[in-house]
Amino acid sequence: MLLASVLRAAHRSDLPSFSNHDVSGTFGDPSLPRMRVVCLGDSSLTGPGLESIDSIFIRRLVRPYAEHHHVELISLAVGGSKAIDVIEGQLDEAVDLRPDIALVSVGSNDAIRAVPPAVYRRRMDHILDRLGEVSGAMLVLGMGDLSTIPRLPPALKPFLRRRSRLFDGAAAAAAASHPVAVKVWTRGRMADGFEGRLDLFAGDQFHAGDEGHRLFAEETEPAFRAAYRLWRQREAAGRR
């Protein structure tokens, strides 16, 4: 029933659909020390519906670091991905890139498409196990409250609210079991800031718009700063 309701909502002819973007880019003087940020995940990292690619939260986060680093932002994310898709289609390349900071943002499609939370947790552990072997630090987003998405049927709100908490908790538990991982706090404005705020969504009423990504960036910045400090400390200690 959940899948049928989601599929009907996904194919509403009265709302637009948008293309995904590759948000990869380089920032800062090439002579500065390198900072490589590799992103794995879903459409939260591809910005469908954004007026400008620079509005996406990860670009907002890395640009200030270009004052002291030559930032390489590499996104392997694919819209619609579940954790299994990250494992099968993105993880090997991410490991080969040996990120200074690896960012993982996946889980919403698992929650919406009825993947069991325990299965999602195991897959997140696998992703973080492999990334943790080659990364200076890892940033795990988890998720806010999917029940605030206007496009999804109101009747699913209680179910989606509970699923959001369960899956964010699974992401937090996976991050807590990996010493180089930092989890973004998503139970505050990331969870309730979108309630009733159509202006924070793109025109498809599903993905975050420019102002929504501004909120994402503001709420993610403390955790990104912590991941940056962790990477620098490990680098100074000669560890990977």
CA angle 108, 109, 113 (to 5 degrees): 120
Q: Are 202 and 50 in contact (CB under 8 A)?
A: yes
pLDDT in tens, 164-186: 999 999 999 999 999 999 999 99
Task: Please identify, in words, the CATH class of the domain defined by 2-234.
Answer: alpha beta
Q: What are phi and psi of 95, to 5 degrees?
A: -60, -40
Say if residues 219 and 186 touch (Cβ distance below 8 Å): yes
pTM: 0.93
Q: What is the pLDDT of residues 50-109, one digit of tens each?
A: 989 999 999 999 999 999 999 999 999 999 999 999 999 999 999 999 999 999 999 999
Q: Answer for the pair 58, 73: CB distance below 8 angstroms, yes or no.
A: yes
Whether the Cβ atoms of residue 220 and residue 61 lie closer than 8 Å to each other: yes
Place of tokens 């659909």: 17
35-53 pLDDT, tens digit per residue, is 999 999 999 999 999 989 9
User: What would the DSSP string read from start to end of 167-201?
Assistant: HHHHHHHHHHTSTTEEE---SSHHHHTTTT-GGGB
Measured CA to CA, the distance from residue 26 to residue 186 in angstroms comes to: 28
What is the DSSP-derived secondary structure letter of residue 69? S
